[in-house]
Amino acid sequence: MTTNEIITTLISTFRDPSIDVRHDAVMNLAACGTRAVAPLIKAMQEATDSDVRWYAATALARIGEPAVTPLLAAMDKDRNRDFRKYAAAALGGIGAPAIEPTIEAMAVDDPELRGYLSLALCRMGKLAIGPLTRRLESNDEMIKSCAVLTLWQMGEEGLNVVIQKVQQEKTE
């Protein structure tokens, strides 16, 4: 079997009744690395159920950094809300390597996409606070606004950063 055939077979097991089979498929797809990214994104886009999307997103999160740019590109092109929700979950699961590209992607005109990107950053939590805080000084008003709103959504820690920034501006 070719690598592509193995990847296709592993993705098809996301519908298997055995959770152990599905978990093994995720681990094996993660081991395939970059070669599995495009097929996993396609599986998320074509899925008719949340289970397939969830396991594909989990595999993409385990693949990590190589999945970031393709996920962001697919989210920009594909307006399907279910796809975007699970793609955001994958980005959030990737964590640190996805932070800067996700923040930069918020410069788009699509407010719905910005919302999903914000959710991904919120899922990253504390890791994203520093990079978002630095964007409060951005000359790009869209990025600055998105940073404020995302920090606000993060709850107490993010909100404290926004409050400190406002207080600092008042004293300057």
Among residues 28, 89, 84, the alpha carbon closest in space to that of 58 is found at 89
Look up the domain containing 71 and give its range.
Answer: 3-171
pLDDT > 90: what percent of the chain?
Answer: 88
> pTM for this one?
0.93
Answer yes or no: is pLDDT of 59 > 90. Answer: yes
Which tokens is 45 given?
Answer: 């886009």
Answer yes or no: is pLDDT of 35 > 80. Answer: yes
User: Rounded to a whole number, what is the distance in angstroms from the first to the last CA of the chain?
Assistant: 66
- Number of structural domains (the chain) is 1
- Would you state the pLDDT for residue 158? 85
Answer yes or no: is pLDDT of 166 > 80. Answer: no
The answer to whether the CB of 43 falls within 8 A of the CB of 56 is yes
Answer yes or no: is pLDDT of 170 > 90. Answer: no
Answer yes or no: is pLDDT of 99 > 90. Answer: yes
For position 32, which CATH number holds?
A: 1.25.10
